[in-house]
């Protein structure tokens, strides 16, 4: 959400007298939110979809259209531009191969205007420029430039006098010592793209300009250069800047860009043409659009219209509207101009029957059963840590789904089983009355043979001075009756449970879970002072809506892939299923 600060007085100079209420209303319609007004400064948070209004000039331009002060296509969309006579030769540009340039003459820059220019540059860098990686912008005082201009790769030892650090230094030193160099050196890995004229290097994009071409209040004519890794993006960004400077009273002139194998002339401020069908737009929004209304609404949003035939319009999209990609973008603008508040809500005449998902139906039964057995439902994180999942549970090692960019080290894996989270829950309630009986139903994820299997598990635990295997077994049996499932217990060994008091839960010949008395080492690890008995089962294997597999539940045939168990041969934990 880019936030911009604009001078209210400047905005009013450009638009005309407009009240705060009108301003706030139109900004809201342009998807913005007025965050604050302090003195003359207005802070607005906008959406990234309209980079053209991220500056006072662009916002003023949009306002004039919406308020019908100056509706329709901006006049400069159709005015041919003069040739500046400048040519920029592109030689051997590898790191940032695409450029776009322009000359702007006749600007009267005061302190406020220079500030606006910098804000515009900053916000475009941040949004369209993707933090300068995609596009970088340089403003230069034209009178300090001495053609011929070449854009090329320099050597690290070549020198320049960078802005704000007015001593001659090598480009390598700029990357090492200048704050902008340090911040953006990763964008020029291995290269040194520069603009050079007769007097030497005057720009090192995207890093920094030179002192020589610094723009001040005295500057009347500017040379603007954009560089980047996306040919379309550099041109689009230049278009936005050009229109902003035109609205400031400048005259934009063309620059020739001579690549090694082609020639371009920038900027091209001509509008794009898109054919739209009025009936389609009407159907999309749900209003009746006739030609007259459509024209007015399009004009409010500053589009032009070139051809009309029956219900087809050819819309002229201004060059600064880089966000318009499809007819639906124009349709939304028409709806905005119409006013969302004027759209009466309606329900369509369709009848559908609602129903819960199979997973939820099953889990509602599990929930009902366990609540009826006196267990409190809890909800813990699915994100977990290796220590909680393995070490505290007396397991040496466990294969876990790992997150590359976790926010903290103890939330850097996806849980493989829920029981450790129940143990942690119990350990945080040592001073609460016993018995404590809890359960959770939720997701677990297991890496299996290079894939990740996601399962839905149910885990239950009882902590009390009288907790025994019999008690948790009784709960499991009651749950099985309620789900209509037959199960067998097979004695099993698991480091988290007491040997001789542990069993695997077998349904339809597969191990679906484990049950037992928690090992006192684990109790010590969690600083618990009463015995705990627990079970965990996989009750459902979910699938993606577009998967060819069908989901499986405990009533079919399902496997507890999360169950680790120690094999006697190797010291490592492996998946091994009871036969």
Q: Which of residues 50-69 bind other proteins (CB under 8 A)?
A: none
Residue 450 is given by DSSP the state T
Residue 551 is given by DSSP the state P
CB-nearer residue toward other proteins: 25 or 493: 25
Q: Taking every pair of C-alpha atoms in the chain, what is the biggest distance, in angstroms?
A: 93
Contact status, residue 370 vs residue 382, Cβ threshold 8 Å: no
Binding-site member from 75, 292, 309, 351 for other proteins (CB under 8 A): 351
Contact status, residue 156 vs residue 230, Cβ threshold 8 Å: no
539 is written with which tokens? 């009750």
Binding-site member from 40, 340, 490, 574 for other proteins (CB under 8 A): 340
Least distance between other proteins and beta carbon 534 (Å): 16
Least distance between other proteins and beta carbon 545 (Å): 4
Rounded to 10 deg, the angle between the 291-300 and 327-338 helix axes is 90
Binding-site member from 150, 161, 165, 336 for other proteins (CB under 8 A): 336
d(CA 211, CA 159): 13
Name residues contacting other proteins, limited to 282-311 (CB under 8 A).
283-287
Residue 410 among known ligand-binding residues: no
CB-nearer residue toward other proteins: 127 or 538: 127
d(CA 67, CA 339): 12
Residue 329 among known ligand-binding residues: yes
Interacting stretch for other proteins, rule CB under 8 A, among 51-59, 165-173, 428-436, 487-495? 428-436
Least distance between other proteins and beta carbon 467 (Å): 13
445 binds other proteins (CB under 8 A): yes
325 is written with which tokens? 């990609």
Least distance between other proteins and beta carbon 421 (Å): 9
Name residues contacting other proteins, limited to 388-417 (CB under 8 A).
401-408, 411, 414
Name residues contacting other proteins, limited to 230-259 (CB under 8 A).
230, 232
Residue 95 is given by DSSP the state S
332 binds other proteins (CB under 8 A): yes
Name residues contacting other proteins, limited to 213-232 (CB under 8 A).
230, 232
Least distance between other proteins and beta carbon 438 (Å): 8
Least distance between other proteins and beta carbon 435 (Å): 6
Residue 323 among known ligand-binding residues: yes
Contact status, residue 52 vs residue 40, Cβ threshold 8 Å: no
Least distance between other proteins and beta carbon 282 (Å): 9
Least distance between other proteins and beta carbon 375 (Å): 5
579 binds other proteins (CB under 8 A): no
> What's the Cα-to-Cα distance from 490 to each of 152, 461, 537, rounded to whole Å?
75, 20, 14
Binding-site member from 61, 134, 140, 416 for other proteins (CB under 8 A): 134
30 binds other proteins (CB under 8 A): yes
Nearest to 123 by CA among 242, 237, 245: 237
> What's the Cα-to-Cα distance from 342 to each of 177, 211, 284, rounded to whole Å?
57, 54, 15
Least distance between other proteins and beta carbon 542 (Å): 5
Interacting stretch for other proteins, rule CB under 8 A, among 75-83, 508-516, 521-529, 537-545? 537-545
CB-nearer residue toward other proteins: 200 or 447: 447
d(CA 563, CA 537): 9
* Buried-exposed string 99-138: b where 16+ CB fall within 10 A, e elsewhere: bbbbbbeebebeeebeebbebbbbbbbbbbbeebbbbbbb
Residue 326 is given by DSSP the state S
Tell me the torsion sign for CA atoms 479, 482, 415, 565. Answer: positive
Interacting stretch for other proteins, rule CB under 8 A, among 4-12, 209-217, 450-458, 489-497? 450-458
Name residues contacting other proteins, limited to 98-127 (CB under 8 A).
127
Name residues contacting other proteins, limited to 354-393 (CB under 8 A).
354-357, 359-360, 364, 367, 370-383
d(CA 504, CA 483): 18
What's the chain's Rg over C-alpha atoms?
Answer: 34
H helix intervals, 407-550? 419-427, 469-483, 520-525
d(CA 468, CA 420): 19
Q: Binding-site residue total for other proteins (CB under 8 A)?
A: 90
Annotated binding residues for Mg(2+), written as ranges, equal: 323, 329, 332-333
């Amino acid at each position: 959400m880019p936030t911009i600060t604009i001078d209210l007085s400047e905005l009013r100079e450009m638009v005309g007298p407009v009240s705060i209420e009108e301003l706030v209303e139109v900004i809201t319609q342009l998807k913005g939110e007025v965050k604050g007004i302090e003195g003359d400064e207005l802070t607005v948070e906008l959406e990234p979809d309209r980079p053209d209004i991220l500056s006072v000039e662009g916002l003023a331009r949009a306002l004039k259209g919406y308020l019908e002060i100056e509706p329709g296509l901006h006049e400069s969309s159709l005015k041919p531009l003069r040739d500046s006579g400048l040519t920029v030769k592109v030689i051997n540009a590898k790191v940032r191969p695409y450029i776009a340039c322009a000359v702007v003459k006749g600007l009267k820059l005061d302190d406020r205007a220079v500030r606006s220019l910098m804000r515009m540059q900053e916000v475009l860098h941040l949004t369209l420029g993707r933090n300068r990686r995609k596009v970088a912008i340089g403003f230069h005082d034209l009178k300090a430039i001495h053609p011929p201009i070449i854009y090329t790769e320099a050597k690290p030892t070549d020198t320049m006098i960078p802005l704000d650090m007015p001593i001659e230094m090598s480009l390598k030193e700029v990357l090492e010592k200048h704050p902008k160099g340090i911040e953006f050196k990763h964008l020029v890995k291995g290269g040194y793209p520069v603009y050079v004229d007769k007097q030497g290097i005057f720009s090192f994009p995207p890093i920094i300009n030179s002192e020589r071409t610094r723009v001040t209040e005295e500057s009347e004519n500017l040379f603007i250069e954009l560089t980047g890794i996306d040919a379309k993006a550099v041109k689009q960004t230049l278009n936005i800047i050009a229109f902003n400077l035109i609205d400031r009273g400048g005259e934009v002139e063309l620059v020739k860009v001579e690549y090694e194998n082609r020639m371009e002339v920038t900027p091209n401020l001509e509008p794009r043409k898109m054919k739209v069908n009025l009936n389609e737009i009407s159907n999309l929004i749900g209003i009746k659009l006739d030609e007259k209304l459509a024209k007015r609404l399009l004009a409010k949003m500053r589009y032009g219209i070139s051809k009309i035939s029956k219900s087809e319009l050819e819309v002229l999209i201004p060059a600064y509207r880089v966000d318009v990609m499809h007819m639906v973008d124009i349709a939304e603008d028409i709806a905005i101009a119409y006013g969302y508040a004027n759209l009466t809500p309606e329900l369509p005449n369709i009848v559908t029957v609602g129903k819960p998902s199979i997973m939820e139906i099953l889990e509602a039964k599990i929930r009902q059963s366990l609540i009826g057995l006196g267990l409190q439902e809890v909800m813990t994180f699915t994100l977990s840590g290796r220590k909680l999942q393995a070490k505290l549970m007396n397991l040496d090692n466990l294969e876990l789904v790992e997150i590359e960019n976790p926010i903290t080290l103890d939330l850097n894996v996806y849980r493989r089983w829920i029981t450790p989270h129940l143990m942690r829950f119990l350990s945080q309630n040592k001073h609460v009355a016993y018995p404590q009986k809890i359960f959770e139903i939720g997701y677990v994820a297991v890496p299996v043979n290079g894939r990740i299997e996601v399962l839905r598990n149910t885990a239950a635990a009882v902590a009390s001075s009288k907790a025994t295997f019999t008690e948790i077994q009784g709960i499991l049996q009651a749950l099985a009756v309620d789900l209509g499932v037959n199960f067998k217990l097979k004695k099993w060994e698991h480091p988290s449970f007491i040997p001789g008091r542990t069993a695997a839960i077998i349904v339809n010949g597969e191990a679906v879970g484990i049950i037992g008395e928690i090992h006192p080492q684990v109790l010590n690890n969690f600083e618990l002072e009463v015995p705990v008995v627990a079970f965990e089962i996989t009750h459902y294997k979910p699938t993606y809506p577009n998967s060819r597999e069908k989901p499986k539940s405990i009533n079919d045939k399902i496997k507890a892939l999360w169950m680790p168990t120690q094999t006697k041969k190797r010291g490592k934990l492996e998946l091994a299923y009871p036969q």
